């Protein structure tokens, strides 16, 4: 009877891991749910060998701003169908649940999903259960209840979501941010922050309230939201906030990615700390399909270097989520989450939220492995 050294070996034309500085042809060997080794070659006998000579193998992709939820959120979508099968093995929910429906979210979404799901809990105890803004009634904010829920949730609750845009907040945004920071301080958790329209509240004054480790999302919007000033440069208040340790997430969504803004930022070597999709119910059935590989492809077309892109969907979000060494890496002993991508040069045009297009191919998912198991629909 043959004794196997590995359960699965995957060979690829290019393997990239920014956490271990691996880049080149090679193989990844897996036993159980762990990576045993990754490199140019591996010795030993495997139960299963998969070969992708023309493809790119990365650590399983990490999406730090999206809406995985099986129930109870107007934005929620099935994590396994809409994220995992598209290449994302770890996803952070932006406020789909609050203190009132956390237990349901935990049992129905986190516990039932093959995808690794974490929550940035909404400061609103209602989460996104109801139509309209999540911050539409003052009595929906209960800092004590939110604090207690975060403490009970442990590592499953990463931080506090506070989106004070006009679409999400009809209360005084300063009051909402004050309460969100109170919970964050009491629980030692970061904020996932959506800024207010600068006509209501200056970007500089909003950023001044944030702390090192807090994450500002929607940063590549165009128009009056833009982080690019009239002189074509990144706003000085953005640069000052980064210098203080505030982090910036470039999520796409329906309105939040502009080629013009991204290209100006990249020309100044200003790269986001993370790349995310803000993928939600309105994207289901979209053609071409909105997902993280396609979003990555738009950043490539806008001029962001490949390694910077790979880092922003791998090692960097893993560190921000406090999961370094477990995900976002191919180092031995880490969880065997892998994504295999292939560039399709004839894919549909890359289109931003302003309906502008750019030439270039698109990464498409060929294979996903989650905790050592090859994923299928």
Contact between 50 and 10 (Cβ < 8 Å): yes
Return the bridge partners of 51, or none.
11
| pLDDT digit string, tens, across residues 91-130 | 999 999 999 999 999 999 999 999 999 999 999 999 999 9
CB atoms within 10 A of CB 231: 7
| pLDDT digit string, tens, across residues 198-249 | 999 999 999 999 999 999 999 999 998 899 999 999 999 999 999 999 999 9
| pLDDT digit string, tens, across residues 58-72 | 999 999 999 999 999
Q: Does pLDDT of 1 surpass 70?
A: no
Instruction: Tell me the average pLDDT of the chain.
Output: 97
- Rounded to whole angstroms, how far apart are CA atoms 60 and 64? 13
Domains of the chain as residue ranges with CATH: 6-59+334-342+363-374 (2.30.40.10), 61-320 (3.20.20.140)
Instruction: Please tell me whether the overall predicted TM-score, pTM, comes out greater than 0.95 for this model.
Output: yes
pLDDT at residue number 278: 97
pLDDT at residue number 225: 85
pLDDT at residue number 360: 79
Q: Tokens representing 38? A: 């990754």
pLDDT at residue number 377: 76
| pLDDT digit string, tens, across residues 255-313 | 999 999 999 999 999 999 999 999 999 999 899 999 999 999 999 999 999 999 999 99
Contact between 167 and 132 (Cβ < 8 Å): no
Q: String of b and e for 38-58 (b: at least 16 CB within 10 Å)?
A: bbeebeeebeeebebeebbbb
pLDDT classification of 359: cutoffs 50, 70, 90: confident
The DSSP bridge pattern shows strands 274-276 and 338-344 to be unpaired
- Rounded to whole angstroms, how far apart are CA atoms 120 and 249? 14
Alpha helices in 188-332 (DSSP H): 203-208, 236-244, 259-267, 292-301, 306-312, 315-320
* 143-153 helix and 173-187 helix, angle to the nearest 10 degrees: 40
pLDDT at residue number 74: 97
Q: Does pLDDT of 174 surpass 70?
A: yes
| Burial (CB count <10 Å: 0-12, 13-18, 19+), residue 111 | exposed
pLDDT at residue number 249: 98
- Rounded to whole angstroms, how far apart are CA atoms 185 and 211? 10
């Amino acid at each position: 009877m043959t004794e196997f050294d590995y359960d699965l070996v995957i060979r690829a034309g290019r393997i990239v891991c920014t956490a271990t500085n691996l880049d080149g042809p090679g193989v990844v060997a897996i036993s159980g749910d762990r990576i045993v080794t990754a490199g140019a070659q591996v010795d030993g006998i495997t139960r299963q060998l998969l070969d992708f000579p023309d493809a790119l193998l990365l650590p399983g992709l990490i999406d730090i701003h999206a809406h995985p939820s099986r129930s109870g959120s107007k934005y929620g979508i099935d994590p396994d169908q809409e994220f995992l099968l598209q290449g994302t093995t770890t996803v952070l929910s932006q406020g789909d649940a609050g203190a009132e429906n956390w237990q349901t979210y935990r049992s129905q979404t986190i516990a039932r999903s093959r995808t690794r799901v974490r929550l940035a809990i909404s400061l609103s105890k209602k989460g996104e259960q109801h139509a309209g803004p999540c911050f539409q009634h003052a009595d929906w904010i209960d800092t004590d209840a939110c604090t207690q829920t975060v403490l009970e949730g442990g590592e499953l609750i990463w931080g506090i979501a506070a989106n004070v845009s006009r679409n999400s907040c009809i209360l005084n945004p300063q009051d909402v941010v004050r309460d969100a920071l109170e919970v964050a301080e009491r629980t030692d958790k970061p904020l996932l922050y959506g800024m207010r329209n600068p006509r209501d509240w200056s970007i500089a004054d909003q950023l001044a309230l944030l702390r090192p480790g807090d994450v500002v999302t929607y940063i590549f919007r165009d128009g009056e939201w833009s982080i690019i000033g009239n002189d074509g440069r990144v706003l000085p208040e953005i640069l000052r906030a980064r210098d203080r340790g505030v982090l910036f997430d470039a999520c796409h969504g329906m309105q939040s990615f502009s080629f013009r803004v991204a290209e100006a930022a990249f020309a100044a070597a200003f790269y986001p700390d993370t790349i995310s999709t803000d993928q939600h119910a309105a994207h289901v059935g979209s053609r071409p399909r909105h997902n993280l590989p396609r979003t990555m492809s738009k950043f490539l077309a806008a001029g962001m270097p490949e390694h910077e892109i790979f880092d922003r969907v791998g090692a960097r979000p893993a560190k921000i989520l406090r999961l370094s060494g477990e995900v976002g890496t191919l180092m031995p002993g880490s969880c065997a989450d892998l994504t295999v991508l292939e560039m399709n040069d004839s894919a549909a045009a890359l289109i931003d939220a302003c309906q502008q297009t750019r030439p270039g191919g698109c990464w498409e998912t060929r294979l996903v492995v989650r905790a050592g198991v090859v994923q299928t629909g």
